[in-house]
Amino acid sequence: MQVKKIIFTVTNDLNYDQRMQRICGSLADAGYDVLLVGRKLKNSPTLFHKNYKQQRINCWFKTGKLFYSEFNIRLFLFLLFKRADCICAIDLDTILPCYYISKIKGIKRVYDAHEYFSQLDEVISRPAIYRFWHRMEKRMIPKFKNGYTVCDSLAEEFRKNYSADYKVIRNVPLLHESNSISAAANNVILYQGAVNKGRGLDKLALAMQHVNGVLWVCGDGNFMTEMKAVVQTNDLSNKIIFYGMLEPVALKNKSKEAYIAMNPFERTGLNQYLSLSNKFFDYIHAGLPQVAMNYPEYKKINDRCQVALLIDELDPVVISKAINKLLNEKDLHSRLTQNCLVARRELNWQQEKEKLLKFYKVLFNE
């Protein structure tokens, strides 16, 4: 029987996308021929060696409408000359080329919704941009009958709004039995992930005025300039350190040096309110008690596992009180740490990947 070839498409530079690394690696291990296609940036490091194929597309334009237009055209032309049995669009910004290629070639198509794209803060805050992506969602998602997303709440939204019966494959890390919890500096607070609008990072920065600790920011994004301005204006440079984008191994090493972690999201769009971020699980696997939002998906897990302090609003005073509670109450910190170690034995990729493999077996009638 011929090996099935699956092509996945993203708009990032591949090295930092741990979800796609897990998905592609697991499918390659299961015997599929996998190609992951992304973009090449000016400072993109050399691609890591993986058990699946990788390809970056170079564009003249790096941001905005011109980038998305150019990337989609280049992606379409690239895919036109590639053999595949299935093509999977990761989020809405690569869905058009995947749809048209699947129609032209008569192959299967899948949608992997990492986000509720039209409900991203940077989308809904700009009316014209929102109208464009909302129309795209309404038009395209019903054409992708096969798909999956990261949590039950988002799956329900796609079912309700677009009649799309998507599976749930959560963005959880691999469980490494060798992972131990090392003694960390008891005043280091970690934020990892995108430094984007809608994450409440300006309020987190202001909260550090009332915290006897230092915040490590590991990531980059479209809100970095604004966040650094808050730090400079409020003389917080001695309390907030920016490490930029870190490769997965370096990020794990940083998490071992932290004492607690932060997972803030503004409630400015359904994506933030209903999402279940990968960092929530990354912190659990690192044994890091965290401050997270009292939103449905986090509450559902925390009610059962007790791994976080949940807050109802992103206010600097509320944030600082939660941080100080975890810093000062050692028994609470110890209890949440132990709960993380228990929870990660259930919430891990070894368990979750079975749903992914079943999805593609059903898709290919294997």
DSSP 35: E
Q: Give the architecture-level CATH label for domain 188-343.
A: 3-Layer(aba) Sandwich (3.40)
Give the residue-averaged pLDDT of 257-261. 96
Measured CA distances, 36 to 5, 15, 39, 116 (Å): 11, 11, 10, 21
Structure tokens at 279: 């960092």
Q: Which residues of the chain does CATH 3.40.50.2000 include?
A: 5-172+348-363, 188-343
Instruction: Return the number of other C-beta atoms located less than 10 Å from residue 308's C-beta.
Output: 28
- Asked if pLDDT for residue 158 goes beyond 90, the answer is yes
Beta-strand pair 108-113/86-90: parallel
Give the residue-averaged pLDDT of 266-282. 92
User: What does the pLDDT read at residue 42?
Assistant: 85
Tell me which residue of 122, 274, 262, 117 sits closest to 201, measured CA to CA.
262
Q: Class for domain 5-172+348-363, per CATH?
A: alpha beta
* pLDDT tens-digit map of 295-340: 999 999 999 999 999 999 999 999 999 999 999 999 999 999 999 9
* pLDDT tens-digit map of 175-218: 987 655 655 667 999 999 999 988 999 999 999 999 999 999 99
